[in-house]
Amino acid sequence: MQIRFAAQHPAGDHSLVVPIAGTARAALERFGAAKTGIDAALKRQRFDGEPGASAEHYLDSDGGRRLLLVGIGSDALTGEGAERLGGTVTARLLTSGEREAVIDLGGIPVSADFAARVALGAMLRSWRHDRYRTRLKDKLKPTLATITIVGAPDGAEARWAERYAPLAEGVFLTRELVAEPANIIYPESFVERVRHLTELGVEIRVLGEDEMAKLGMGALLGVSQGSVRDAQLLVMSWNGGEPGATPTVFVGKGVTFDTGGISIKPAQNMEMMKWDMGGAGAVAGAIKALAGRKAKANVVGICGLVENMPDGNAQRPGDVVTTMSGQTVEVINTDAEGRLVLCDAITFAQKEFRPKTIVDLATLTGAMVVTFGHEYAGIFANDDKLAADLIKSADASGDKLWRQPLGEAYDRLIDSPIADMKNVGPREAGSITAAQFIQRYVDDGVAWAHLDIAGVAWSDKPSSTYDKGATGYGVRLLDQFIADSVER
């Protein structure tokens, strides 16, 4: 879909979108005598002008033009409100038969950023994954090709092009990676799917299993050993800041399919485990967004890419592995594999880049879904400022976070009688003990945060900025964090 900005309505056939602020109806005065019919239509549809509410009418005096009224609320002139406006328009019109829509912001005291985020919301909501749907009915196919925003302040188009269009592209990459089935996206093909980032100036390095074995990554390789797909460690470097300055590092869990290994998962809903690489997908998308907008920061994205399968060579419960850090792990449950991937990836990041800040993202625990459902991701951190900065960026971006505790009492729950630690604790506090495991691999002096995104990488219901399926969670959060806390 294409986004345009214009001073006047384009000629030709298009639907017209008018934002309505709560119960105020001043925006309808422009329609003259037709206002009476519009008011009646709004009343019939119980339209109250609240954010996200919408109603339709057809203008007899204008050749039957479709008029879409979208509520923005009386106090919703925020970035979130702007995105909801744009997303609501796309959701209503994407498969409606309309080819072009005009969103008229005239008369609303909005900023250039607000107008640009209307475009962002509209674009984000347009993404679909129809690649394998060969018999899609015509009425279900997207028709909306262009949205033109009229009446935006000066600077809105530039703000969209320079700040938000690259962000949308990053989100789309993440959604694509997460939505693809596991026979299409596996460690090697994940790498190939992101190689185009070199065209944006991203440096890409890939370590295969032999290289990882030489480095001592016994935990990550242990997860992969039951699969015919070789593990990969993907390193993406964006150097947009001061030359030689220490980078901020993002680490993503990239289990491209998770059967649970020998500790096999129940068959019901196992197909959903294609998105167990949502953390790695978010890191890749964030690097694309940052490179696309030429962020003035040095950022490294590292993705530990594996497939967890239960063949005759698979890791067994009770096995002991040695991690790259030298610490040993008793593998109690092979379905607690993500932390085994992350611990070696984090050790590699520290040895290779000496970062001051590491943020890891992982669809790590079902316990996090029990805790928060599908509204928030959990954040665990060893640094209060980093936690506060990430939560602030989460609030601004819409990728919500809620902080969870860490502590010595929880850490003792993963002590092993025969190794340095177990990869799982007891049933209770499952998300916390997973975070405690990862923390054992964070060097002194490194500010670290772990984001458990298990409940938010995928959605079974649509929102204002995404349809059912892959949400792209994490891209906007990481991009906002770099903008707020790293760029100067």
**Residue-wise DSSP of 205-219:** EEE-HHHHHHHT-HH
**Residue 423: closest CA among 260, 210, 233:** 260
User: Is residue 199 very low, low, confident or very high in pLDDT (cuts 50, 70, 90)?
Assistant: very high
Q: Which residue range(s) make up the domain with 362?
A: 168-486
In a domain, 162, yes or no: no
Q: Is residue 83 in some structural domain?
A: yes
322 and 465 part of one domain: yes
Rounded percentage of the chain residues whose pLDDT exceeds 90: 92
Same domain, 453 and 322: yes
Please identify, among 150, 181, 210, the residue that sits at the C-terminal boundary of a domain: 150
100-109, 144-153, 380-389, 451-460 — which is least confidently predicted? 100-109
Please tell me the distance from the alpha carbon of residue 485 to that of residue 295, in angstroms, as a whole number. Answer: 12
> Are 36 and 130 contained in the same domain?
yes
- Same domain for 231 and 104, yes or no, is no
Is residue 51 located within the same domain as residue 173? no
Does the pLDDT at position 488 exceed 80? no
Query: What is the CATH number for 110?
Result: 3.40.220.10
Furthest-apart CA pair in the chain: how many Å?
83
Within-domain flag for 327: yes
**How far is it, in rounded angstroms, from Cα 354 to Cα 252?**
17
Do 130 and 271 belong together in one domain? no
pLDDT tier, 399 (very low <50, low <70, confident <90, very high otherwise): very high
Please enumerate in sequence order all residues whose Cβ is within 8 A of that of 95, keeping only pairs 6 or more positions apart, or say none.
139, 140, 141, 142, 143, 144
| pLDDT single digits (tens) 55-107 | 999 998 777 899 999 999 876 688 999 999 999 999 999 999 999 999 999 87
Q: Judge whether 159 lies within some domain.
A: no
**109 pLDDT band (50/70/90 cuts)?**
confident
- pTM assigned to the model: 0.97
Q: Is the separation of the CB atoms in 323 and 421 below 8 Å?
A: no
Q: How many domains does the chain have?
A: 2
Q: Are residues 244 and 361 in the same domain?
A: yes
- In a domain, residue 187? The reply is yes
**Are 174 and 74 members of one domain?**
no
Q: Has residue 158 been placed in a domain?
A: no
What residue type is assigned to position 2 of the chain?
Answer: Q
**Do 270 and 330 fall into the same domain?**
yes
* Domain shared by 28 and 85, yes or no: yes
CA dist., res. 313 & res. 321, Å (int): 15
> What 8-state DSSP symbol labels residue 276?
T
- Helix/strand/coil (H/E/C) assignment for every residue in 39-74: HHHHHHCCCCCCCCCEEEEEEHHHCCEEEEEEECCC
Q: Residue 17 carries which side chain, given as an amino acid letter?
A: V
Query: Quick check: is 163 in a domain?
Result: no
Q: Distance between CA 226 and CA 34 in Å, rounded? A: 68
In a domain, 177, yes or no: yes
In DSSP terms, which residues pair with 459 in a beta bridge? 469
What amino acid positions are annotated as catalytic residues?
265, 339
Task: Yes or no: say if 91 and 464 are a contact pair by the CB < 8 Å rule.
Answer: yes
Give tens-digit pLDDT for 421-459. Answer: 999 999 999 999 999 999 999 999 999 999 999 999 999
Mean per-residue pLDDT, 388-415: 98
Confidence at residue 150, expressed as pLDDT on a 0 to 100 scale: 97
Same domain for 209 and 67: no
Q: Which pLDDT score, from 0 to 100, does residue 62 have?
A: 77
The per-residue pLDDT for 90 is 98
Q: Which of 150, 185, 220 is the last residue of a domain?
A: 150
Q: SS3 of 82, please?
A: helix
> Which CATH number do you get for residue 337?
3.40.630.10
Contacts of 289 (CB under 8 A, 6+ apart): 166, 167, 169, 170, 171, 475, 478, 479
Q: Are residues 128 and 172 in the same domain?
A: no
- Contact indicator for 165, 215 with CB cutoff of 8 Å: no
Tens-digit pLDDT profile for residues 234-280: 999 999 999 999 999 999 999 999 999 999 999 999 999 999 999 99
For residue 35, count other CB atoms closer than 10 A to its CB.
13
**pLDDT score for 76:** 63
Distance linking the first and last C-alpha atoms of the chain: 33
